[in-house]
Structure 1
Amino acid sequence: MTLTAPTLSDLPAAAAQLISFAGTEKVFLFTGDMGAGKTTFIKSVCEALGVTGGVTSPTFAIINEYSAPNQKIYHFDFYRLKTQTEALDMGAEEYFYSGNYCFIEWPEQIPDMLPLHYISVAIKVLTDGSREIAIDKV
């Protein structure tokens, strides 16, 4: 499925479509160039799931935890990892298989640790500044 978000105000509708498409799948891999809007889109997805606190990039913390009604959400940013071992040492795989939502930015940093099943979310900036969001079940 491919969605287009011409403006930031279109992200909540795209987030709702993503959640509906995912069904029971809880692990999401977000890819796209730096500045493509991965964190901004994750913020919209978290809001759609009921997160009321702030959603920020975990660039330096590597992982942020958010609370939504009756569930936890884990947001990873693996951009700064030097090796996959760093993610392994922090117990990333335990989060991935916890049954909670996991939103993973820069999954290409941990190729050998990715779960077998996930939702792929590829964000691309188009020439007019809108975002193309390609979503697939893997």
Structure 2
Amino acid sequence: MNVTFSLDQLEEVAQKIMANNPKKVILFHGEMGVGKTTLIKQLCKTLGVTGATSSPTFSLVNEYEANDNQLVYHFDFYRLNDEVEALDMGIDDYLYSGNWCFIEWAEKIPNLIPKTHSVISISLLADGKRLLTLS
């Protein structure tokens, strides 16, 4: 799936992503400031998370509960030094839990990513819109 969008179309984009039945573990790629966290917040809303959502930059993971009691984990590994830190926090328990796992900066843990996952790549276009690819 490829889609070009502006930030005011995030709700529609999140619905399109979910309609494409992505795997429960989704890696988010894109430069800093391109809107990965903003998209993840909208995906959480689409899944029925009603509480506040924020970037887990310092905590590494935030946990949210959706309407149907399913859990959503949002990871931000930007400040992670190595894969051992992820293992120490119990990353395997999260990734193989069957719950949604949205991972920013997954390139910091390449050897820990489950074989079955989806990837969302976001890039900023010259006109300020974003190009999103789901694979």
Give the TM-score, by structure 1 length: 0.94
Question: How high is the sequence identity, in percent, across the aligned residues?
Answer: 50
Alignment-derived partner of residue 73 in structure 1? 72
Output the amino acid matched with 1:129.
Answer: G
What count of residue pairs does the alignment treat as equivalent? Answer: 134
RMSD: 0.8
Deviation at 1:22, TM superposition (A): 2.2
Alignment-derived partner of residue 133 in structure 1? 132
Output the amino acid matched with 2:71.
Answer: K
Output the amino acid matched with 1:52.
Answer: T
Kept in 2: contact 1:2–1:132 (CA 8 A): yes
- The answer to whether the aligner puts 1:112 opposite 2:111 as a matched pair is yes
- The answer to whether the aligner puts 1:28 opposite 2:26 as a matched pair is yes
Distance in 2 between residues matched to 1:9 and 1:36, nearest whole Å: 14
Alignment-derived partner of residue 96 in structure 2? 97
Distance in 1 between residues matched to 2:87 and 2:8, nearest whole Å: 37
Alignment-derived partner of residue 54 in structure 1? 52
Output the amino acid matched with 2:97.
Answer: S
Structure 1 residues not aligned, in runs of 5+ = none
Give the TM-score, by structure 2 length: 0.96
